C-alpha cells in the first residue's frame, strides 16, 4: 500500500531527527536543529510534532515498531504481548540471536545514548523514554509467559525487565564504544536470557 504524503513527510522528519542525534548529539537536539536537518521551517515540524518530546517519542516508537517487525520475520514468531502458543527453546534461541544482532547496530546504540543523555535533564524526554521501555518490556513479557505459562503476571514482568536490562546493557558494552563483544560473551547472554525465559536447563 502506498504511503500518504503526510506519512512520507513524517518519516522524513523522523529520519532527520535520528541523523541529528547520531551525528550531532543531544546538545544540538533543539527543534530548530531538527527542522534545519529536515530542510523545513520549525512551524512545519511542529505541525507533526508539537514538542521535542513528541518527536523523541515518535522516533522511539518507530524504532520499536521496525525492530519488532524484523524480529518477527527472522524468528518466525508473533511478538504481540497477547500472542498465544508455547515458546520452545529453539524459538527463543532464534529470537534472542536476532535480538542480539539488532543490538549490534552502532548507529542505533548512539541514538539511544543521546536520547538517554537528553532525558537526564528533560523530564518530557524521560517520559517518552519510559514509555518506550514499558512497551518494549511488554512485548518481552509476552514472550516470557509463553516460555513459562505457570508464571504470575508480576513474576513475568520482573523477568521481562531483567531481559530488557541485559540486552540494553549489552548493546553498549558490546559496541565499539566499550569493545567487550566476543562470541563466548554473546552465547552467554543468549544462554542467560533463555534460562530466564524457560526457567530451566534443557536437560532438566
pLDDT of residue 1: 47
What number of other Cβ atoms are within 10 A of residue 94's Cβ?
A: 16
Per-residue pLDDT, averaged over 177-181, amounts to 96
Q: Is the pLDDT of residue 128 over 90?
A: yes
pLDDT classification of 173: cutoffs 50, 70, 90: very high
Q: For the chain, what is the domain count?
A: 2
Whether residues 37 and 68 share a domain: the answer is: no
Instruction: For residues 104 and 152, state if they share a domain.
Output: yes
Instruction: Supply the pTM of this predicted model.
Output: 0.92
Give long-range contacts, CB 8 A cutoff, 24+ apart: 77-84. Answer: 77/143, 79/139, 79/142, 79/143, 80/139, 80/142, 81/138, 81/139, 81/141, 81/142, 82/142, 83/142, 83/146, 84/146
Quickly count: other Cβ atoms within 10 Å of residue 1's Cβ.
3
Using a pLDDT cut of 90, give the percent of the chain over it.
94
Output the pLDDT for position 202: 62
> For 151, left (φ over 0), alpha (ψ -120 to 50), or beta?
beta
Structural domain including 139 reads 53-198
Task: Report the pLDDT value the prediction gives residue 197, as an integer from 0 to 100.
Answer: 97
Is the pLDDT confidence value at 201 over 80? no
Residues 44 and 144 in one domain: no
Amino acid at each position: 500500500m502506498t504511503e500518504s504524503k503526510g506519512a512520507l513527510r513524517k518519516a522524513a522528519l523522523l529520519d532527520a531527527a535520528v541523523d541529528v542525534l547520531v551525528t550531532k548529539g543531544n546538545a544540538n537536539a533543539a527543534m530548530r536543529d531538527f527542522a534545519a536537518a529536515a530542510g523545513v521551517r520549525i512551524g512545519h515540524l511542529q505541525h507533526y510534532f508539537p514538542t521535542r518530546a513528541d518527536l523523541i517519542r515518535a522516533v522511539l516508537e518507530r524504532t520499536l515498531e521496525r525492530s519488532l517487525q524484523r524480529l518477527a520475520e527472522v524468528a518466525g514468531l508473533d511478538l504481540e504481548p497477547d500472542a498465544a502458543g508455547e515458546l520452545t527453546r529453539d524459538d527463543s534461541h532464534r529470537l534472542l540471536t536476532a535480538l542480539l544482532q539488532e543490538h549490534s547496530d552502532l548507529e542505533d546504540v548512539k541514538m539511544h545514548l543521546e536520547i538517554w543523555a537528553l532525558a537526564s535533564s528533560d523530564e518530557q524526554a524521560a517520559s517518552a523514554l519510559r514509555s518506550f521501555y514499558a512497551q518494549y518490556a511488554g512485548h518481552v513479557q509476552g514472550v516470557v509467559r509463553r516460555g513459562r505459562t505457570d508464571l504470575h503476571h508480576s513474576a513475568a514482568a520482573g523477568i521481562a525487565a531483567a531481559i530488557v536490562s541485559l540486552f540494553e546493557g549489552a548493546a553498549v558494552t558490546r559496541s565499539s564504544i566499550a569493545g567487550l563483544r566476543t562470541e563466548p560473551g554473546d552465547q552467554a547472554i543468549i544462554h542467560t536470557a533463555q534460562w530466564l525465559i524457560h526457567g530451566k536447563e534443557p536437560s532438566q
